[in-house]
């Protein structure tokens, strides 16, 4: 079966098609606008991310170089003889201890100055004094209130702080640690660089801890050398993402990273992630447990392509306005005349005189179409009366031909039934069958009438069913459910008999006493429904039967009788009436004949 492809635009009127055309013309511009902006944004993010990855790596290197400079200064102070002299010695007098204290205090004070002209780095030495041999100097419980700018403090096991323990565990390696409430006013946080001070003569003995404060300020000076877009931030964190220094006052907070940004345990690596709001660039140093993080707002980057966006948007707007103007011109030039023509075509009735004669006001295809349609309407009006009577006669000839074809077919089946009955029973019951046959012939001829009352059609069908039951020795039953109200209405004669014949031959003939045919007739609004159904056990392709009824080409020669009935119903009543086959819910097939309610034939005017 050939599949017929229809154009979906034909379901729309021309106005809707023009609007669709306008949208099709304009939409690529907006799609290109969106694509260009998206692509530019992706390229910008990619290039910016790559550039800041390298910048982050260099910045982290410079920060650690400054930390290494502090570490070398601290190494010099640790190896200084004055610092080493603070190790525990029972022979020292109190005067000698005061002198050592002053020398070390002076050493630390001399190194507490800015390396680059920026924020000063202050050095402090915390000496282990379990026996309180330096009572004249501040001890750990008073380190939050420095007296006389002292830079040397003493602690014992009872006054040891967590960050001192952290430095001692590092065994001489530098450690960055946050110290709360440190400084002259005891209200500051500071990022300190800690190193344990071990005895040169006995490496196992720890003299104390040397710290450099205000490392956060020194790192912020390194941050200041990098210029990020507006809203960009820089953070130096430990391996637990705790902020050690940043361009915003967030020291000590935990920095949140996107889920897709996961740092590994590589010695050194650079990572990046792009989210809807920000771009993250991270450089890690696993050996010293540090991360340098850049966060750059996506919006600040997109501002850089705002000029390109404006140009693309301007082009889109100008193109859209131009398209609207062109569509309006064609609408006025083409659509107005076509709409008038469509209104004329819908309102014109064949045979009705035209209100005006066509004129050739324009020479384009639209003018030719308008003139041709009006001229064609005139010709149709001239031809309609000429061909009207010919069509009526042609339909009558077709009906007569169909009746002439079906009557021999019916007579053949009836005579065959009489033959079989007479052969099997030795002429017993033949008189009864001949009686039924005469009834069939009488109603079939019906004095030349084409439409008969349903009451007569039912009588004809019952006579045929009785003959078939006698022929097949009552091998099936037939039940009649006819509403009395439908009996006076007209129906094309010999409508039910082919349907009952199909139900017998293709449905119940081999079912014995289990076979049943039900014939019903009822009214439904302005229509009559005549139904013939059987409980046949064979599976039937009802879709193929309906295609045969509709007149589609078929290799099978079956279906001649029902197609004949279908055509006669449509010839009398119109294409909306006829036969329709469907499968029953359980078993068998049901055929429905739909006809209008009519008690007298239509006149030629109705036809």
What are the tokens at 392? 């009526």
What are the contacts of 263-270 at 24+ separation with CB within 8 A? Answer: 263/291, 270/53, 270/56, 270/57
Average pLDDT, the chain: 78
For residue 213, what is the DSSP state? -
Cα–Cα distance between 332 and 19 in angstroms, integer?
14
Can you give the pLDDT at residue 22?
Answer: 72
What SS3 string covers 463-486?
Answer: HHHHHHHHHCCCCEEEEEEECHHH
Is the per-residue pLDDT at 428 higher than 60?
A: no
Rg of the chain taking only CA atoms, in angstroms? 54
Kindly give the residue spans of alpha helices, DSSP state H, lying in 426-453: 430-445
Can you give the pLDDT at residue 449?
Answer: 73
User: Tens digits of per-residue pLDDT, 245-290?
Assistant: 888 888 888 888 888 788 877 888 888 888 878 888 899 888 888 8
For residues 302-318, average pLDDT: 71
Backbone angles phi, psi at 370, to 5 degrees: -60, -45
Cα–Cα distance between 289 and 237 in angstroms, integer?
8
Strand order in the sheet with 190-198: 152-155, 123-128, 206-212, 190-198, 175-179
User: Tens digits of per-residue pLDDT, 397-418?
Assistant: 666 656 655 555 566 566 566 6
Can you give the pLDDT at residue 1?
Answer: 46
Residue 465 banded pLDDT, cuts 50, 70, 90:
confident
Place of tokens 């005189």: 353
Can you give the pLDDT at residue 578?
Answer: 93
User: Tens digits of per-residue pLDDT, 497-532?
Assistant: 899 999 998 888 888 888 999 999 999 989 999 999
What are the contacts of 39-48 at 24+ separation with CB within 8 A? Answer: 40/305, 40/308, 41/301, 41/302, 41/305, 44/301, 44/302, 44/304, 44/305, 45/274, 45/279, 45/298, 45/301, 48/279, 48/296, 48/301
Is the per-residue pLDDT at 307 higher than 80?
A: no
Is the per-residue pLDDT at 32 higher than 90?
A: no
Place of tokens 């390396």: 115
Cα–Cα distance between 189 and 126 in angstroms, integer?
18
Torsion angle of C-alpha atoms 266, 267, 268, 270, degrees rounded to 10: 10
Is the per-residue pLDDT at 5 higher than 50?
A: yes
Is the per-residue pLDDT at 488 higher than 70?
A: yes
For residue 134, what is the DSSP state? -
* Domains of the chain, each with CATH number or no CATH: 80-219 (3.30.450), 220-299 (3.40.1840), 478-596 (3.30.565.10)
User: Tens digits of per-residue pLDDT, 325-336?
Assistant: 877 777 777 777
Cα–Cα distance between 238 and 227 in angstroms, integer?
23
């Amino acid at each position: 079966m050939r599949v017929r492809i229809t154009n979906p635009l034909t379901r729309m009127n021309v106005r809707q098609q023009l609007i669709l055309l306008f949208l099709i013309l304009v939409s690529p511009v907006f799609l290109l606008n969106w694509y260009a902006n998206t692509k530019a944004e992706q390229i910008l993010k990619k290039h910016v991310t790559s550039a800041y990855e390298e910048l982050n790596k260099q910045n982290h290197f410079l920060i650690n170089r400054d930390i290494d400079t502090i570490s070398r200064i601290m190494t010099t102070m640790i190896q200084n003889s004055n610092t080493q002299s603070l190790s525990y010695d029972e022979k020292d007098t109190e005067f000698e201890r005061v002198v050592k204290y002053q020398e070390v205090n002076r050493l630390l004070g001399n190194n507490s100055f800015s390396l680059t002209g920026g924020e000063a780095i202050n050095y402090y030495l915390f000496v282990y004094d379990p026996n309180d041999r330096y009572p004249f100097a501040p001890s750990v419980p008073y380190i939050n209130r420095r007296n006389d700018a002292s830079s040397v403090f003493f602690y014992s096991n009872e006054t040891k702080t967590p960050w001192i323990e952290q430095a001692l565990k590092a065994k001489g390696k530098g450690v960055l640690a946050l110290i709360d409430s440190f400084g002259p006013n005891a209200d500051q946080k500071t990022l300190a660089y800690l190193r344990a001070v071990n005895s040169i003569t006995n490496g196992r003995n720890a003299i104390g801890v040397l710290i450099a404060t205000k490392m956060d300020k020194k790192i912020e000076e390194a941050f200041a050398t990098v210029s990020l877009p507006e809203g960009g931030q820089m953070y130096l964190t430990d391996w637990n993402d705790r902020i050690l220094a940043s361009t915003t006052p967030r020291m000590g907070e935990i920095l949140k990273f996107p889920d897709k940004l996961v740092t590994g345990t590589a010695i050194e690596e650079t990572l990046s992630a792009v989210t809807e709001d920000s771009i993250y660039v991270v450089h890690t140093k696993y050996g010293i447990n540090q991360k340098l993080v850049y966060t750059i707002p996506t919006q600040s980057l997109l501002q850089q392509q705002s000029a390109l966006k404006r140009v693309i948007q301007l082009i889109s707007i100008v193109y859209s306005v131009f398209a609207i103007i062109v569509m309006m011109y064609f609408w006025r030039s083409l659509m107005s005349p076509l709409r008038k023509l469509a209104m004329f075509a819908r309102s014109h009735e064949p045979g009705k005189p035209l209100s005006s004669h066509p004129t050739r006001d324009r020479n384009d295809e639209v003018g030719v179409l308008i003139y041709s349609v009006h001229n064609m309407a005139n010709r149709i009006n001239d031809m309609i009366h000429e061909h009207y009577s010919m069509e009526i006669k042609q339909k009558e000839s077709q009906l007569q031909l169909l009746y002439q074809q079906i009557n021999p077919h019916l007579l053949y089946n009836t005579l065959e039934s009489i033959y079989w009955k007479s052969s099997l029973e030795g002429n017993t019951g033949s008189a009864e069958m001949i009686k039924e046959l005469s009834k069939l012939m009488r109603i079939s001829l019906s004095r030349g009438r084409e439409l008969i009352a349903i009451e007569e059609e039912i009588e004809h069908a019952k006579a045929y069913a009785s003959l078939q039951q006698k022929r097949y020795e009552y091998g099936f039953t037939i039940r009649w459910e006819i509403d009395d109200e439908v009996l006076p209405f007209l129906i094309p004669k010999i409508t039910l008999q082919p349907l009952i014949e199909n139900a017998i031959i293709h449905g119940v003939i081999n079912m014995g006493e289990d076979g049943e045919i039900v014939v019903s007739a009822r009214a439904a609004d302005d229509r009559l429904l005549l139904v013939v159904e059987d409980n046949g056990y064979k599976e039937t392709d009802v879709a193929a039967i309906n295609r045969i009824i509709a007149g589609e080409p078929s290799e099978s020669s079956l279906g001649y009788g029902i197609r004949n009935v279908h055509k006669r119903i449509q010839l009398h009543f119109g294409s909306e009436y006829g036969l329709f086959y469907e499968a029953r819910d359980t078993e068998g097939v049901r055929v429905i004949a739909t006809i209008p309610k009519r008690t007298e034939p239509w006149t030629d005017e109705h036809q």
